[in-house]
Amino acid sequence: MKTPDNQEVDFIKYAQFVNEVTSIPSKNDDEFIRRIQDLQEQGVPIARLLTAAVGISAEGGEFTEIVKKVAFQGKELTNDNKLHMVKELGDVMWYVTQACICLDVTLDHILTQNMVKLLSRYPEGSFDIYRSENRKTDDI
């Protein structure tokens, strides 16, 4: 493998690098448990937050898998496939609701915040490729 400046990188060195830049709680069970306990003591509902994060990712992946097969592998977009996608989106929403409970916000609040963010990025109310690629410093 080569870096952008055309240097060779071997996997063993890369794995050592990855290990060095990985947080301690990410690679040590005892430290991870301590971090979870610290968060619990701070009142963070970490179990629900982790459930939401992992679930959104997993169910979003299942939705994406169907779209991938339709877009790239010749699968037809049938009513059955649409229903399958709807069901996966329902699962995503179940986990989004878990996150809402954890963060003590409503879905309406999240949608409003998203509109505020996008209207700030696109004040004319329509997509602009320049603004999508050249965001303000605080545009997350």
Cβ burial of 35 (10 Å; 0-12, 13-18, 19+) is middle
Predicted TM-score of the model (pTM)? 0.82
Number of domains in the chain: 1
In a domain, 59, yes or no: no
With the CA atoms of 101, 102, 104 and 106 taken in that order, what torsion angle do they form, in degrees rounded to the nearest 10? -40
33 found inside a domain? yes
Q: How much of the chain exceeds pLDDT 90, in percent?
A: 81
Q: In this structure, is residue 137 part of a structural domain?
A: no
The answer to whether residues 119 and 125 touch, using CB atoms and an 8 Å cutoff, is: yes
Over residues 25-39, the pLDDT tens digits come to 999 999 999 999 999
Structural domain span for residue 40: 1-44
pLDDT tens sequence across 113-123:
999 999 999 99
In the 8-state DSSP scheme, what is residue 123? T
Q: Is residue 36 part of a domain?
A: yes
Asked if residue 5 belongs to a domain, the reply is: yes
Residue-level pLDDT at 24: 96
